[in-house]
Every structure is written in structure tokens, then in C-alpha cells.
Amino acid sequence: MSSQSTLSVAVRSETGSGPCRRLRDKSVVPGVFYNAQGVNLLFSAERTPLQKLFNKVGLSQVFELEILENGQTQQQPAIIRDIQFHPVKGTISHVDFFGVDLTKKITVYIPVEVTGKAKGIILGGVLQVFRDELEVVGLPMSIPEKIVIDVTSLEINQNVHIQDLKLPESVEFIFDDNFAVVGVTSPSTGEAGSEGGETEKAGE
């Protein structure tokens, strides 16, 4: 888990596409904060600090949300539940935050990161990432930033399955079947790829 970050936002009262567009023109992002009690709060956040926060915490790590309203500030642990980007500029256009109770488990997806060079690639195999993120449930402050998988020992036709992976004690994977997360296939098999997977050919 990353060290906890903080983001300050201001409550907003105006709604609709016009006011939201004017906010974006000022490098301010409109958003909605949802808490566990079902209360929704409209806010705005400066784009640059928000982008830095997203780069650090992604969609799984807890941060401290500071909400400014009527001259008073309240703090709430939260995660980014959803984030939208401008289709051309690539800038953040909208964001949803979700308040969390640090004593209760949450369900999130965390990214998969592959490290090392598999033995099978040296022999002409193709490295396939079948799942680039995995669903977990656990206490918010215990959820790791990512799942790092060392593929160095993998030979051709060998896989790392989800049951092979380890998590902190208070965090668990959510899955029905013991599916392969990454693997090395023979060149003829790897060319076709796998649904949702990425490939890396020998020498790349």
C-alpha cells in the first residue's frame, strides 16, 4: 500500500453541463463524493493535484479527502471509484470518490505487474498476460498497490495461476476458477493471443 495522500476539494452547488464546462475551462474538475450512508456530495478539484493523486493511488488505494464547505473542512478516507478523461486532450474531465470505513472490507481491482525475463522467452516462447488486473477484497489500508509477478522461472507452456499468488493476511482474491494470470506459450500458440491479454515476443 502506498503512503496515504491528501486531496483538498470544494463543495459546489451548480450542476449541469454548462457550469461543469466552465470549471474544466479553469483547469478544475467536477466530481461526486459518495459515502457509505448513500449521501452524495458535489465537489470540484484542481486538475493538477487530482492527476498527481490518481497517478499515485489509482483505483484501489485509500487517500485522505479534505472537503471544504462554508469555511469548514471535514476529512474522510476515500478511494477513487471512477474517473473519466477527455477523448482528445486526455485530461481528467470527471471523477467519483467513495468514502470508506477503514474497519470494513472493500472490493477493488488492483493491477498486475510482471517482472523478470522468463526462461521460455529465451527459448522462443511468447509471454502472455491473461489478466492485467485482479479483483480483491480486504481492509482498505491493507490492499496492495499492485500484484508483482516474477516470471523468470517460467518455461514454455508454464503458467502462474491466481492460487499461486500471495496477498497480505487481511486481503483475498475473488475468483471461481483457478485461472492463469500470466504464462509462456509456444510461438505458434502465442501469435493468436488471448482474450484481454498482452504479448511479448522474444527479443522485444
Tell the CATH topology of 106-200: RNA Polymerase Alpha Subunit; Chain A, domain 2 (2.170.120)
- Model-level pTM? 0.80
**CA dist list (Å): 104 to 32, 100, 178, 186:** 22, 8, 26, 44
Residue 64: how many CB atoms within 10 A of its CB?
A: 13
Distance CA 20, CA 105 (A): 33
| Res. 202 pLDDT band, cuts 50 70 90 | very low
| Res. 104 pLDDT band, cuts 50 70 90 | very high
Distance CA 108, CA 90 (A): 24
Distance CA 160, CA 173 (A): 14
Q: What is the pLDDT of residue 200?
A: 44
Among 30-44, 47-61, 140-154, 165-179, which stretch is predicted with the lowest mean pLDDT? 30-44
**CA dist list (Å): 30 to 5, 84, 108:** 20, 11, 23
Q: What is the pLDDT of residue 189?
A: 60
Q: What is the pLDDT of residue 69?
A: 85
Beta strands in 47-146 (DSSP E): 63-69, 72-85, 92-99, 106-115, 126-129, 133-138
**What digits encode the pLDDT tens for the residues 149-199?**
999 999 999 999 999 999 998 999 999 999 999 999 998 764 444 444 444
Boundaries of every domain in the chain = 5-99, 106-200
**CA dist list (Å): 98 to 59, 106, 111, 144, 150:** 10, 11, 19, 18, 32
Average pLDDT, the chain: 89
Contact 1, 60 (CB under 8 A): no
**Distance from first CA to last CA of the chain, Å, rounded?**
31
Q: Dihedral sign, CA of 50, 63, 67, 35?
A: positive
The CATH code for residues 5-99 is 2.40.240.10
